Structures are given as C-alpha cells and as structure tokens.
C-alpha cells in the first residue's frame, strides 16, 4: 500500500464538483435556482453547443455587492442559511453553498453583478476554480453568469456526456421545470442562436398557472387538462392532469414539484398511477403537472447533492392525498362512451354523439373502434348509463348484452364488464387487507425452471398478499395451494396462475405497473368468457355489479365495457324530428 496523502485542493474540488454537476443541465438548474432565490422576475437563458460551449443566464434579481462576488464562489458560502435548523424553515432553493464553487471548478465562469441600490457593478472571472480576473464593470441590472467550456479540465466527465440532442433535451426540461414552478417569472430560452421558448409572467393563482402549464406543455394539452385539488393533514395538492381517455405512450409529460422544487419521488409517482389504474391500458401514461406543498419541517430536502430527491417525515400521507385528489378529478370528468359516426375511409371526424354534444358539435375524443362507428366520450355524470328501468332484450353472439335503457340502446361487453368487476373487487380486497382466499383441495403443480422457482419464491410474500400460496415441490415443480376466493369461477386456475407467474418473472413486480398488469391478468382469466350464455338474471346481476364499480365504463385494459345510443340519438339517426313521446 502506498502512503496516505491528502488530495491536492484542485483535484479534490473537481471530484466534489462531480457530485453536483453531472451535465450541462445541472449547471443550468443551479443557476436558475440562484436567480429565483435572488427574487428575479425576469430570467433569460442562452445555450450554445448543447451547453458545452456556453450557458448564459441573466437575471434582474437582487444582485451581489462587489465584495460578495468572489465570496460566492468559495465552498460552503451561502447567504441562505446560517445553522442546521434553518433547513426546517427553508424557503429558498439553494442552501448548500456549493453550486457556484462546483461549477467554477470545472469550467471557465464569469459573473457580473450589481447589488440593488448600488451604482457599481463588479465582474469576476474564474478558470478551473482559480481567480483569473476581477474588476469593476459597466452598471447593469441584476446578475449575469456565463459558463464556458464546461468540463474542460475533467475530460472523463466530458466523455460521459450524451449526444447534443440528449443534452439539449435535459437543458430544455430544466427550463420547463423552472417555468412551471414560477409562473410569476418571465423566462426566455434560446438555444443555438434561436429563441426556443418565451414564457410571459402572469400572476393570479390557478388561471396563471394553467396558462403557464399550457405554454409549457402546448396549448392543446393545456386546454384539456383537468384540475385536481386537495388539502389534507398539512399537505396541499394542486395538479393539472390528463383526462382518463387521453393518455400517452410516454411518461415524459410528468412534472412533480414539492414546495416548488422539481423532484423525482416514488411515492408521488405511485400515487399518480394508482389514480389512473382503473382507466389505464398498458403502456399508457398521463400528462401530469403536480404541485405538492408540505410544511418544510415535514420534509428532508438534503438527501441528494443535486436536491432532486426529497424525503417525507414518516406518517406524512402523501400517497393518500395525491391519489384522492387525482381520482376525484378523473371520476368527475368521466362518462360513458356513446356511439358516434366517423368520417369516410375510417378516419375519425368529430363526435356528434349525445344530444348535448351534438348542438355544439365540439370535436371530442374518439377512441379507436371499427368503422363505421367509433366511441366518443362526452362529459357528465359517471352513471348516466344506468337506469332502474333497464329492460333486458337479449344477447348477441353470446358476447354482448343488449338492453333497452329508457328508450335508448345500451350494449354491454359481458367479458369486459366481468373483468372490470373482478378487477376492482380484487384490488379493493387487497388494499383493505381483507382478501379472502380458498385452499385448493389438491395442490396444483406447476413446472418451472429452477431459476423461475427461485424468483417466484423470492416473491412469496407478495404473492401471498395477492392471495396465492405457493411452495416448492421438488426441484422444478411449484405447488399452488391456495388462490383468491373471488376467482372460484375461474375455468382454468392453472393457466391463470401461469400468467401471473409469467408476470412476476418478467417485471420488477414492485412497480405499480407490474402490479396493475398482474391484477388485470388475473381478472381477465377469471372473468366469464365471451361465448357464455347468460340468463336474464345473470345479465342483470352483471349490470348491477358494474354499477357498483368506481368506473364501470372501461375494462382494466382501457377498452370500453359499454356503448350507448340514447333515444334522442336513435331518433336522429332515423331522421325523426325528435324522440317519440314517453310511454307513447
């Protein structure tokens, strides 16, 4: 072993900088936070060379006195906290006093600043952590910082940067996050010589926020997002979220803020996905801009050098508040699909479905459905489809149930409906901890490779919580000894269990996604199959159960369980002047 020796200062500082400054976007994030902490109302950002050449940010905040300009670059120098306890009432983004120090260690940085009320501005230039020049500068408002040649002295880090377009997308994301969390601040963002976004400042609560959300996510999103709100136990949630029918293939449209800080937080993410669970198909994701406000004392923001993570004090019911806020907004906006015509060549035109929507002829969302009909979703009460006077007319192809619903036509996909009913009951039982299970008379043997059995046994507890008891039986056989009682009608428990195991094996089943899949899979297998003849009594029971669902209008995979043509619509389709008089 060679002798121990302390690292030279400049090596140590570059290593330390590595924690805070991972890529150009980290520089931008820190500088934006500083500008916001300085009370800036207008911030201009300019990027060149995907942030490798130049990151320039000019703010109109409080500025720095000449003697503070150099101090700001010292390690652990901050104007924001004095003692550890200050973290519990933190109102600024910064507190570690190491961002400028870190950036300066791995770049060539210039700061020009003038303190409010002072005449003189001061300029400091630092290269790789060493003072290069400092002198008086022509007066200008606020602070301007230019970071050039990022990672010029840490080539290893420079090598790890991704393609220009990837780095640029990270940079843009950082600006978006700052813009979303600070609607009262005006931002411009130029990259490679072009203005990419311009956000004008607006104040005034929800309207301002919605306007900002729309200008960040795009006007079309902004118009359609639902607003979810809830206050409970010291926590406040305010979110703009996709309606249940407009989900996306990517997760990229999700922004979560805790006390205005952009964060990645597992609990919040899981809570979001829980709220969408009844509506979400596989690989469909909501757009979400969510602001959570929590008392600073209930929050640990000092978990990670980049402050990307926060921890909540145990007992802070974040999951609950977020799920409830979103679920409520989603359900309120939910309605049953209506049959609407689509345009020529199978291309969806606008929905002219319900009587209400028809007059306005508003284009509304059209789900994929075989031509010549598509399904559209007007807004309204979630249970408008249900009536005590449903009259059962029969079954089509032993697959669809047909009802006279107060003069209109209601079609139900019996398989999809049954799936949804089981799915919701099963979830409710699991969540309330009141899952009923049944012991199998004979254990059900399932053959699997050793690795598969290992993996399943590693998830034994989780499976047990889901109502399945398994045990190893020989090297390559697994015995299922118990299943959820809810599924007593399952035709083929073996196949059901196989699919569940498949699912456990192919996912990190801790994720909400995987659990959703597994549950949907089980419900699907256990559901009545299409092609079952149903008696009138069974058909009615099915509708009743569907009505008791949180959302009975779509199956766990997001397909509709029902279609409707109401009496007005029938009349319209037949070219009648109006629906026939009631009881006439």
Least distance in Å: CB of 146 to ligand ADP? 12
44 SS3 class: strand
Output phi, psi for 256, to 5 deg.
-120, 130
Which one of residues 61, 66, 222, 560 is an interface residue with ligand ADP (CB under 6 A)?
61
Residue 572 touching ligand ADP (CB under 6 A): no
Burial class (CB in 10 A: 0-12, 13-18, 19+), 458: exposed
Is residue 171 within 8 Å of 25, Cβ to Cβ? Answer: yes
Residue 98 touching ligand ADP (CB under 6 A): yes
Residue 63 touching ligand ADP (CB under 6 A): yes
> Using omega within 30 degrees of 0 as the cis cutoff, is the peptide bond preceding 360 cis?
no
Residue 247 to residue 284: CA distance in whole angstroms: 5
Beta strand residue intervals within 161-234, DSSP E: 186-191, 194-199, 226-232
Residue 64 touching ligand ADP (CB under 6 A): yes
User: Closest-CB residue for ligand ADP?
Assistant: 94
Least distance in Å: CB of 35 to ligand ADP? 5
Residue 62 touching ligand ADP (CB under 6 A): yes
Binders in 189-228 for ligand ADP, by CB under 6 A: none
How many other C-beta atoms can be found within 10 angstroms of the C-beta atom of residue 222? 18
Which one of residues 72, 247, 294, 357 is an interface residue with ligand ADP (CB under 6 A)?
72
Span from 98-106, 395-403, 518-526, 566-574 in contact with ligand ADP (CB under 6 A): 98-106
Span from 89-97, 124-132, 378-386, 565-573 in contact with ligand ADP (CB under 6 A): 89-97
Least distance in Å: CB of 36 to ligand ADP? 9
Q: Which residues bind Mg ion (CB under 5 A)?
A: 34, 94, 99
Q: Which residue has 């709220």 as its token pair? A: 275
Of residues 20 and 268, the one with the C-beta less far from Mg ion: 20
Task: Provide the edge-to-edge strand list for the sheet that holds 469-472.
Answer: 437-447, 477-484, 469-472
Which one of residues 20, 32, 99, 463 is an interface residue with ligand ADP (CB under 6 A)?
99
Of residues 94 and 183, the one with the C-beta less far from ligand ADP: 94
Of residues 143 and 154, the one with the C-beta less far from ligand ADP: 143
Residue 498 touching ligand ADP (CB under 6 A): no
- Tokens for 509, please give them: 């089943």
Of residues 310 and 555, the one with the C-beta less far from ligand ADP: 310
Residue 380 touching ligand ADP (CB under 6 A): no
Binders in 29-58 for ligand ADP, by CB under 6 A: 30, 34-35, 37-38
Least distance in Å: CB of 180 to Mg ion? 19
Output phi, psi for 104, to 5 deg.
-65, -30
Partner in contact with 59, chosen from Mg ion, ligand ADP, none, beta carbon below 5 to 8 Å by kind: ligand ADP
Q: Could you tell me the end-to-end alpha-carbon distance of the chain, in angstroms, rounded to an integer?
A: 100
Residue 426 to residue 440: CA distance in whole angstroms: 18
Residue 54 to residue 27: CA distance in whole angstroms: 11
Least distance in Å: CB of 33 to ligand ADP? 7
Helices (H), ranges, 182-280: 205-217, 219-224, 266-276
Structure letter (DSSP) for residue 344: G
Least distance in Å: CB of 92 to ligand ADP? 7
User: Closest-CB residue for Mg ion?
Assistant: 94
Which one of residues 100, 126, 150, 318 is an interface residue with ligand ADP (CB under 6 A)?
100
Partner in contact with 72, chosen from ligand ADP, Mg ion, none, beta carbon below 5 to 8 Å by kind: ligand ADP
Partner in contact with 51, chosen from Mg ion, ligand ADP, none, beta carbon below 5 to 8 Å by kind: none
Is residue 321 within 8 Å of 352, Cβ to Cβ? Answer: no
Q: 554 to each of 367, 420, 486, 551, how far by Cα in Å?
A: 12, 7, 20, 7
- Beta-carbon contacts of 221 under 8 Å, excluding residues fewer than 6 positions away, are 213, 214, 242, 253, 287
Binders in 137-196 for ligand ADP, by CB under 6 A: 143
- Beta-carbon contacts of 160 under 8 Å, excluding residues fewer than 6 positions away, are none
Span from 94-102, 164-172, 192-200, 419-427 in contact with ligand ADP (CB under 6 A): 94-102
Query: How many chain residues interact with ligand ADP (CB under 6 A)?
Result: 24
Output phi, psi for 66, to 5 deg.
-50, -45
Of residues 47 and 563, the one with the C-beta less far from ligand ADP: 47
Residue 265 to residue 566: CA distance in whole angstroms: 45
Footprint of ligand ADP on this chain (CB under 6 A)? 30, 34-35, 37-38, 59, 61-64, 72, 77-80, 94-101, 143
């Amino acid at each position: 072993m060679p002798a121990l020796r302390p690292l030279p200062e400049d090596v140590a500082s570059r290593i330390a900088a590595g924690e805070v400054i991972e890529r150009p976007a980290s520089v931008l994030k820190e500088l934006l936070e500083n500008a916001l902490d300085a009370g800036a109302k207008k911030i201009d950002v300019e990027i060149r060379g995907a942030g490798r050449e130049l990151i320039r940010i000019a703010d109109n905040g409080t500025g720095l006195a000449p003697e503070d300009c150099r101090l700001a670059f010292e390690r652990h120098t901050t104007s924001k906290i004095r003692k550890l306890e200050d973290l519990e009432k933190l109102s600024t983004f910064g507190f570690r006093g190491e961002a400028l120090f870190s950036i300066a260690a791995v770049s060539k940085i210039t700061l020009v600043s003038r303190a409010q009320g002072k005449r003189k501005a001061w300029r400091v230039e630092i290269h790789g952590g060493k003072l290069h020049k400092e002198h008086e500068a022509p007066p200008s408002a606020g602070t301007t910082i230019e970071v050039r040649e990022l990672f010029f002295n840490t080539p290893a880090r420079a090598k790890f940067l991704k393609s220009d377009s990837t780095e640029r997308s990270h940079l843009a994301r950082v600006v978006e996050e700052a813009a979303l969390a600070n609607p009262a601040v005006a931002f411009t963002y130029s990259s490679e010589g072009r203005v990419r976004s311009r956000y004008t400042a607006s104040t005034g609560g929800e309207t301002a926020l919605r306007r900002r959300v729309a200008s960040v996510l795009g006007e079309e999103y902004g118009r359609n997002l639902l607003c979810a709100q809830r206050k409970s136990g010291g926590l406040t949630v305010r979110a703009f979220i996709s309606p249940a029918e407009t989900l996306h293939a990517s997760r990229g449209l999700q922004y979560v803020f805790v006390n205005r800080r952009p964060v990645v937080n597992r609990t919040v993410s899981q809570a979001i996905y829980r709220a969408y669970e009844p509506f979400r198909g596989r690989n469909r994701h909501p757009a979400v801009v969510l602001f959570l406000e929590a008392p600073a004392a209930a929050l640990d923001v000092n978990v990670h050098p980049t402050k990307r993570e926060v921890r909540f004090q145990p007992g802070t019911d974040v999951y609950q508040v977020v799920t409830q806020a979103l679920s409520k907004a989603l359900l309120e906006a939910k309605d049953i699909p209506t049959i609407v015509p689509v345009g020529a060549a199978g291309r969806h035109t606008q929905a002219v479905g319900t009587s209400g929507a028809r007059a306005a002829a508003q284009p509304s969302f059209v789900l994929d459905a075989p031509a010549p009909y598509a399904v559209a979703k007007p807004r309204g009460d979630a249970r408008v489809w249900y009536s005590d006077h449903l009259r059962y007319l029969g079954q089509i192809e032993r697959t669809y149930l047909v009802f006279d619903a107060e003069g209109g036509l209601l079609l139900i996909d019996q398989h999809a409906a049954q799936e949804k009913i089981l799915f919701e009951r099963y979830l409710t039982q699991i969540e309330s901890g009141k899952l009923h299970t049944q012991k199998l008379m004979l254990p059900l043997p399932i053959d699997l490779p050793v690795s598969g059995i290992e993996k399943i046994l590693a998830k034994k507890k989780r499976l047990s919580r889901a109502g399945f008891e398994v045990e190893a039986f020989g090297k390559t056989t697994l015995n299922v000894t118990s299943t959820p009682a809810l599924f007593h009608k399952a035709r083929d428990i073996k196949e059901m269990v196989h699919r569940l195991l498949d699912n456990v094996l192919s996912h990190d089943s801790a994720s909400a996604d995987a659990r959703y899949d597994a549950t949907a899979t089980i419900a699907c297998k256990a559901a009545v199959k299409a092609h079952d003849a149903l008696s009138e009594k069974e058909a009615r029971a099915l509708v009743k159960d569907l009505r008791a669902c949180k959302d009975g209008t779509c199956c766990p995979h997001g397909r509709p369980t029902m279609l409707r043509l109401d009496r007005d619509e029938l009349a319209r389709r037949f070219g009648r002047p109006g629906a026939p008089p009631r009881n006439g």
